[in-house]
Structure 1
Amino acid sequence: MSEPDSAASEMAELRARAYEGDQDAIDQLVELAGSRNDLDELRSLADVGSSDAVDILVELAGERGDRAELQRLATAGSQDAADVLEEMDS
C-alpha cells in the first residue's frame, strides 16, 4: 500500500471510530485537522460537539480575519468567536 493510501485508510478508520463516539479518535482527528488547517474536517468535528475543534476554528478564523466563519461559530454558541468578533469591531 502506498503512503497516501495508508494515510487515507488511517483517516477513514479514525473517522469510523470517532463516529462511534471514541473520544481518543475524535481528539486525534482534531489534532490532525488542526495541524493541516483542514477547515472542513474541523467543521465536521465541531458540528458533532467537539469543543476542541471549535477552539481551533475560532483561532484560525481570527488569524485570517474571517468574520463570516466567526459569525457562524458565534451563532452556533461559541462565546470565544463572539469575543473575537467584538475585539475586531473595537
Structure 2
Amino acid sequence: MSDSIDQQVEDAAGSGDLDALRRLAAAGSSDAEDVLVELAGERGDLDELRRLADGGNTDAADVLEELAEE
C-alpha cells in the first residue's frame, strides 16, 4: 500500500472520519477496514459492524458476536 494511502487512513482514523475510512476501505485498504471495525466496536455501532460483516469482514462478525454475548 502506498504511503499516501497509509497517511490518509491515519488522518481519517485520527479525526474519526468514517466516510473517508469507508471510501478507503472500498478502494481496497484493509487498514481502513480494520479501523472501521475497531471504531464501530468501540461505539457499539451494530449497523456498521453488520455492514462490514455482510461484506465478508470476519473481524466485524467476531465483534458482533462478542457484543451479542454481553
Normalising by the residue count of structure 2, what TM-score does the alignment of the two structures yield? Answer: 0.94
Q: Specify the code of the residue in structure 2 equivalent to 1:79.
A: T
Q: Distance in 2 between matches of 1:27 and 1:75?
A: 25
In structure 2, what is the Cα distance between the partners aligned to 1:63 and 1:24?
A: 27
The answer to whether residue 29 in structure 2 is matched with residue 50 in structure 1 is yes
Aligned-pair RMSD on alpha carbons?
0.9
Structure 1: gaps spanning 5 or more residues:
1-21
Q: Which residue of 2 aligns with 1:63?
A: 42
For the residues of structure 2 that align with 1:89 and 1:42, how far apart are their CA atoms? 25
**Percent of aligned pairs with the same residue?**
64
**1:83 positional shift:** 0.1
Structure 1: which amino acid aligns with 2:60?
A
Q: Which of 20, 42, 56 is the aligned partner of 1:77?
A: 56
Rg larger in structure: 1
- Segments of 4+ moved more than 3 angstroms: none
C-alpha deviation, 1:23, in angstroms: 1.2
- What is the TM-score when the length of structure 1 is the normalising length? 0.74
Aligned length: 69
SS of match in other structure, 1:77: coil
